[in-house]
Amino acid sequence: MNAKQKAFVREYVKDFNATQAAIRAGYSKKTAGVQSHELLKKPEIKAAIEAKQAKAEDRAAITVDEIVARLAGIARAGLGDILDWDEETATLIAKADMGPEALAAVKTIKQTVVEVESNSDDTVRISRNTSASMHDPIKAMELLGRYLGAFTEKHEISGKLSLVDAIRGVSDSDGE
């Protein structure tokens, strides 16, 4: 690979925008789209991009399986996994007692001192206000559903259209 091609690979893995990567690598703005398309076809450039992606994945140290497991934990966890409550009080469950799904689902935990009372017998009573929030389980389910292909859109085409017209979005009444 020449220096411009190496620069293209380096720029391409930043945002995966081939045309912009070609421009940043020094190719002409006028021909960057065509040049980038041709560059991406070259086996040595494909290999270099894949190698850079592999390095990035190693640095990220997270796999698709881990992402899916984390999203599944968020989707399954509920307030009962992080709180113990009755009619009068709610208490945060100790971190050590939370399962991995509950831990994955916790977004924030905030504890503030509300009041400090000192009694005459030198005992101190501290009241704390604890709030916790969880990641959105619906969003986690949506992401999982998309990954698993559960939400495929189906388009129905009716009328007298040729396949070419259907692809172009043209109907026989458009030109009349």
Average pLDDT over residues 154-174: 62
Q: Look at residue 17 in the predicted model and tell me its pLDDT.
A: 93
> Where are the alpha helices (H) located in the chain, listed in sequence order?
3-15, 18-24, 32-41, 43-60, 64-76, 100-105, 137-148, 163-168
Q: Which CATH class is domain 3-60?
A: mainly alpha
Q: Name the DSSP class of 79.
A: G
Q: How confident is the model at residue 11 (pLDDT cuts 50, 70, 90)?
A: very high
Average pLDDT estimate for 81-109 = 87
Q: Which long-range contacts does 95-101 make (Cβ < 8 Å, 24+ apart)?
A: 100/73, 101/72, 101/73, 101/74, 101/76, 101/77
pLDDT above 80: residue 169: no
Compare 76 and 119 and report the one with higher pLDDT. Answer: 76
pTM score over 0.75: no
Instruction: Quick: pLDDT tens for 100-141.
Output: 888 889 998 888 877 777 777 777 777 778 788 899 999 999
pLDDT band of residue 164 (cuts 50, 70, 90) is: low
Q: Domain limits of the chain?
A: 3-60, 65-107+136-141
Question: pLDDT of 19-74, one tens digit each?
Answer: 999 999 999 999 999 999 999 999 999 999 999 888 877 777 778 888 898 999 99
Of 6-10, 76-80, 81-85, 90-94, highest mean pLDDT:
6-10
**What pLDDT score does 26 carry?**
94
